[in-house]
């Protein structure tokens, strides 16, 4: 059973504890929002990198199908 000290709303100690908890909660809310924004940005980066990897894999497949055709423009001229 709670004692009279913890249930008295006019208790300055109770008010200080509630204020401290509210302050902590406000900081935690802000931190959660910042972390959420960072997580979202990381997700977007991962998606962009995944698309780049897919594009590079497609290019490698094209090279594997006909490497001579893909490198034809890169050959040295005969006078080298």
Please write the tens of the pLDDT for every residue from 47-77.
999 999 999 999 998 888 765 665 566 666 6
Range of the domain at 44: 10-66
> Does some domain include residue 38?
yes
Q: Give mean pLDDT, residues 26-41.
A: 98
Tell me whether residue 78 is in a domain: no
Residue 19 lies inside a defined structural domain of this protein = yes
- The answer for residues whose C-beta is within 8 angstroms of residue 6's C-beta and 6 or more apart is 14
> Does some domain include residue 2?
no
Q: What phi and psi, each to the nearest 5 degrees, are found at residue 12? A: -65, -30
Residue 1 has pLDDT above 60, yes or no: no
H-helix segments, 1-80: 4-7, 12-65, 67-71
pTM over 0.85: no
Q: Determine the Cα–Cα distance for residues 77 and 11; give it in Å rounded to an integer.
A: 91
CB 6 within 8 A of CB 14: yes
The count of structural domains within the chain is: 1
Question: For residue 21, is it within any domain?
Answer: yes
Q: Would you say residue 33 lies in a domain?
A: yes
């Amino acid at each position: 059973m709670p004692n009279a000290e913890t249930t008295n709303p006019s208790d300055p100690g109770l008010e200080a504890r509630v204020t401290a908890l509210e302050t902590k909660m406000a900081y935690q809310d802000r931190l959660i929002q910042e972390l959420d924004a960072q997580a979202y940005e990381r997700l977007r980066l991962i998606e962009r990198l995944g698309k780049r990897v897919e594009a590079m894999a497609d290019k490698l497949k094209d090279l594997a199908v006909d490497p001579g055709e893909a490198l034809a423009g890169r050959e040295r001229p005969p006078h080298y």
